[in-house]
Amino acid sequence: MNTTHPLKEIVVDAGPIIAFFAAKDPDHAQVVKGFQQLQQAKTKIITPTPIIFEVYKWLLQKTTVGVARDALDILLEEFVAIAISRQELLELQEFIRKLPRWQGSLEDATVIATAFRFRCPVWTINYRDFSSFKALEFWIPD
């Protein structure tokens, strides 16, 4: 779903962030446009800290140390990083135990919980692990 009004906040999953920093990614051009749209709309870009860890590790393994470090600098400067407390981790544990057939990652669970907490849409590239959650709203760049 793409909203016609400017977004105040959005939760961004690892996929768009990785595609932004990995110039050879097939989604790179599209996510660059998406981040430009969000920047022009002055949208607050939120991501849980486990997603930042996931992005850093992926970039470290698939690109260069320099790309990974530059990405981390930008993420910490431009994004709102949401830390996960021990209590929230316990709540995530309970959440995933209640969904025995769901095969999403713990990182995916943090994206879902953050989107519900802030009542804002999610921007992802891979919807597979989010498709079970009908109450989630998604954003797709123009």
Binding-site positions for Mg(2+) read 13, 108
DSSP string, 24-53: TSTTHHHHHHHHHHHHHTTPEEEEEHHHHH
Q: How many CA atoms lie within 13 A of 132 on its CB side?
A: 13
Structure-block tokens of residue 49: 């800290």
Nearest-angstrom CA–CA distance, 70 and 64: 10
Binding residues: 13, 108
Q: In degrees rounded to 5, what are phi and psi of residue 47?
A: -150, 140
Nearest-angstrom CA–CA distance, 21 and 67: 7
